[in-house]
């Protein structure tokens, strides 16, 4: 019988061009190819999956980045597939609107809430309820930024 791990093994490679054994324990998700390209340059690792549905790269420290493309359907697909490999953490790198004029290129933005615009969650939350980040992950990233002096 086919189980989720079998499906993940097959589909994750099909979508990203990367074998499941090559993914790190920590995953960055994005919908911008330039983030994957910059990651590849910084860590001198290849970008996998070019010409396919999603691109990815993994550094030698066990950090992977995946560009899932556009849309909540792709985001849901990659999260479902990643649940089959049990990453220790997943963080989304995206864009942020409505920033102060003091924000500059390269600044880290840790949102405390986000407007839900995908439509699906309206079936189980009132529109006024924002999407909230994981408190533990938010606290960890915030602490690291302070520790590194880049708050």
Which residue bears the tokens 């708050």? 151
pLDDT tens digits along 11-20: 999 999 999 9
Residues 58 and 76 in one domain: yes
Count, residues in the chain: 151
Residues 12 and 83 in one domain: yes
Cα 29 from Cα 11, distance rounded (Å): 17
Q: What is the domain-level CATH number for residue 79?
A: 3.40.50.1580
Residues 86 and 131 in one domain: no
Cα 54 from Cα 17, distance rounded (Å): 8
Domain boundary among 70, 95, 120: 95
Exposed/middle/buried for residue 52 (C-beta within 10 Å: 0-12, 13-18, 19+):
middle
Confidence of residue 98 (pLDDT cuts 50, 70, 90): low
**Strands of the sheet with 63-67, listed across from one edge:** 55-58, 63-67, 26-30, 89-93
Residue 62 is predicted with a pLDDT of 96
Domain boundary among 61, 79, 95: 95
Residues 4 and 75 in one domain: yes
Is the entire prediction scored with pTM above 0.85? no
Nearest alpha carbon to residue 130 among 143, 140, 142, 118: 118
Residues 26 and 69 in one domain: yes
Residues 87 and 114 in one domain: no
Q: What is the extent of the structural domain holding 41?
A: 1-95
Which 8-state DSSP code applies to residue 123? G
Q: Which residue has the higher pLDDT, 115 or 15?
A: 15
Residues 78 and 103 in one domain: no
What's the token pair of residue 110? 């840790």
In total, how many domains does the chain have?
2
Residues 82 and 113 in one domain: no
Confidence of residue 28 (pLDDT cuts 50, 70, 90): very high
Residues 76 and 111 in one domain: no
Residues 19 and 84 in one domain: yes
| Contact in structure between 33 and 66 (CB atoms under 8 Å) | no
pLDDT tens digits along 38-64: 999 999 999 999 999 999 999 999 999
Residues 103 and 79 in one domain: no
Both ends of the chain: CA-CA distance in Å? 50
């Amino acid at each position: 019988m086919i189980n989720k791990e079998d499906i993940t093994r097959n589909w994750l490679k099909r979508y990203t061009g990367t074998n499941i054994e090559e993914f790190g324990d920590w995953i960055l998700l994005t919908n911008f190819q330039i983030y994957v390209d910059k990651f590849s340059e910084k860590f001198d690792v290849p970008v996998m999956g070019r010409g396919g549905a999603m691109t990815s790269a993994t550094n030698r420290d066990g950090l992977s980045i995946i560009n899932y493309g556009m849309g909540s359907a792709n985001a849901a697909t990659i999260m479902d597939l990643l649940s089959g490999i049990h990453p220790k953490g997943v963080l989304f790198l995206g864009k942020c609107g409505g920033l102060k004029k003091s924000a500059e290129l390269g600044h880290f933005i840790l949102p405390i809430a986000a407007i839900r615009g995908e439509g699906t969650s309206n079936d189980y939350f009132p529109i006024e309820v924002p999407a909230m980040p994981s408190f533990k992950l938010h606290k960890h990233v915030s602490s690291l930024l302070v520790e590194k002096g880049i708050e």
